[in-house]
Amino acid sequence: MEIRQSVAAALIVYAGVVAALGGWFLASQPREGAQAGAGIDVSGLELSVYSSDGAASSATVLDGPAHRKGEVVVLDFWASWCGPCHVQSRLLGDMVAEYTARGVHFFAVNVGESEDLVETSLKEHPIAFPVLMDSDGSSSSRAQVAGLPTLIIVDRDGSIALRRVGLTSARFLRDTLDELLAEPVSAAPALALGG
């Protein structure tokens, strides 16, 4: 009888672990599409520009829907401790030259870390496009970044076209960017970023 109780208890624990891991796996899966950006406002994000020489400056990446009208903006939210973030930044770096020439702007947004930590990370894992700092995490919070890496792509009308948590394949990114670049810019001003 005691063995049956031990086996039953072990099965219950095993089922709980499997359920917890399954829930974590589903929660960590990439989310994409127009609905993913609904209610997210990335306009007017104030971020400091990382500079290896210590020169402080700040940038407003998207200052309202018309700020970069006609341009596609890729925001790659990352942190130094995030291995998949380094993989994604290399993947994006391979696309920078081709897509910048076509009107796409890439920004790596570091979440919650000091410039010293970012500098150390960039020595080991260089990023081929501008790095912006969200040291206090407020802009990332406003953009509803809940996991890293998070990729947000803003279309040429200033609306979030894609929000994806986790690694994104090069093929999917190219297909998405090509599709967004093929769409005409609407004549009417965008209603609001995020949906």
Could you give the CA distance from residue 182 to residue 189 in angstroms, rounded to a whole number? Answer: 18
Q: What is the largest CA-CA distance in the chain?
A: 76
Q: Which two tokens stand for residue 76?
A: 């790659």
Give the pLDDT of residue 21.
40
Q: Which residue's entry shows tokens 């965008």?
A: 190
Distance separating alpha carbons of residues 186 and 195, to the nearest angstrom: 15
Q: According to the 3-state scheme, what is the secondary structure of 34-58?
A: HHHHCCCCCCCCEEEECCCCCCCCE
Tell me if residue 68 falls in helix, strand or coil: coil
Q: CA 90, CA 86: separation in Å to the nearest integer?
A: 6
Q: What pLDDT score does 78 carry? A: 97
Q: What is the pLDDT along the chain (195 residues), one digit of tens a residue?
A: 677 766 555 556 564 444 444 433 433 444 444 334 666 767 767 677 777 766 656 666 665 544 567 889 999 999 999 999 999 999 999 999 999 999 999 999 999 999 999 999 999 999 999 999 999 998 899 889 999 999 999 898 888 899 999 999 999 999 999 999 998 877 544 434 333
